[in-house]
Amino acid sequence: MSDIIFAAKALTKTYISGEMQVLALRGLDLKIYAGEVVVLLGPSGSGKSTLLNIMGGLDHATSGQLFFRNLDLTNLDDRGLTAYRRQHVGFVFQFYNLIPSLTAYENVALVTEISSDPMRPDEALALVGLETRMHHFPAQLSGGEQQRVAIARAIAKRPDVLLCDEPTGALDSKTGIRVIEALLSVNTQLGTTTLIITHNASIQDVADRVLFFADGQISRMHKNKARQAAAALSW
Ligand code: ADP
């Protein structure tokens, strides 16, 4: 039996803006297994970011349950969610949010200095293929390289899960592929459970599963048997 890392049961999220109610998640049931790479696909507004934000402890669900292992995230207050995020979650967003006056190494070191069991910044940067660019400033790096620094920063604290919201959204498709390769390499080497919202077609073929979202629900799921078989062999 695979190890379940997230289990959502009848999860809903309703946003209230003025008189309007938006049902962003409509009773979602989902299991995510440890070590998986899962891609979330679907039209804009279908609830992908809402789910990722709730899984990452950035937002509260409205009803239903979401377990991270044995921890019910829907029972935690803001303080509990902050502790959960710090300990377990790495985020990668479309924009890299690097500090321009710090080198790649120093940007990663900012995180490792406040984590309990971090890897060294140079180790994290080597995992994304940037060992020769460690002492460059963000302005001296391409967009794809900057995103790889952001990935190194996210994984340096050894999170259990890596949540990526449109990590290649600001990149051309060729550069985007390098970023996706970096994410897959981290997954293979560290076993970090990885969820990725992306429109980049190339990752759909290399993910373990693709979840298709429509109107706040998962409308269908595609399992990539080839990748699952390869992963089983490598363990
Ligand atoms: P996706 O990531 O698939 O584009 P989202 O999860 O961002 O979709 O949004 C789902 C729905 O929830 C959309 O209708 C969106 O407008 C709405 N929504 C998202 N965030 C908020 C918010 N903070 N306030 C009000 N409505 C929101």
pLDDT at 235: 39
Q: What percent of the chain has pLDDT over 90?
A: 78
Pocket test for ligand 1, best of 11, 15, 51, 219 (most atoms within 8 A of CB): 15
Q: Contact at 8 Å (CB) between 209 and 36? A: yes
CA of 165 to the centre of ligand 1 (A): 13
Q: Domain residues for 189?
A: 35-60+87-234
Chain segment 29-44, per-residue pLDDT in tens: 999 999 999 999 999 9
Higher pLDDT pick, 225 / 223: 223
Ligand 1 atom 22: residue of nearest CA: 15
Question: Is residue 154, in this structure, part of any structural domain at all?
Answer: yes
Question: Could you give the CA distance from residue 79 to residue 119 in angstroms, rounded to a whole number?
Answer: 26
Question: Could you give the CA distance from residue 25 to residue 51 in angstroms, rounded to a whole number?
Answer: 7
Question: Is residue 69, in this structure, part of any structural domain at all?
Answer: no
Q: How confident is the model at residue 232 (pLDDT cuts 50, 70, 90)?
A: low
Provide the β-strand partners of residue 155.
Answer: none
Domain count, the chain: 1
Question: Is residue 136, in this structure, part of any structural domain at all?
Answer: yes
Higher pLDDT pick, 148 / 114: 148
CATH code of the domain covering residue 224: 3.40.50.300
Instruction: Give the binding-site residues of ligand 1, using a 6 Å CB cut-off.
Output: 15, 17, 22, 24, 42, 44-50, 213
Atom of ligand 1 nearest to the CA of 43: 3
Look up residue 75 and give its two tokens: 């029972």
CA of 83 to the centre of ligand 1 (A): 25
Residues contacting residue 65 through CB under 8 Å, at least 6 positions apart: 7, 8, 9, 10, 11, 72, 74
Question: Is residue 5, in this structure, part of any structural domain at all?
Answer: no
Question: Is residue 17, in this structure, part of any structural domain at all?
Answer: no
CA of 68 to the centre of ligand 1 (A): 23
Residues contacting residue 160 through CB under 8 Å, at least 6 positions apart: 5, 34, 88, 89, 192, 193
Atom of ligand 1 nearest to the CA of 16: 25
Atom of ligand 1 nearest to the CA of 51: 6
Q: Contact at 8 Å (CB) between 117 and 144? A: no
Question: Is residue 149, in this structure, part of any structural domain at all?
Answer: yes
Question: Is residue 95, in this structure, part of any structural domain at all?
Answer: yes
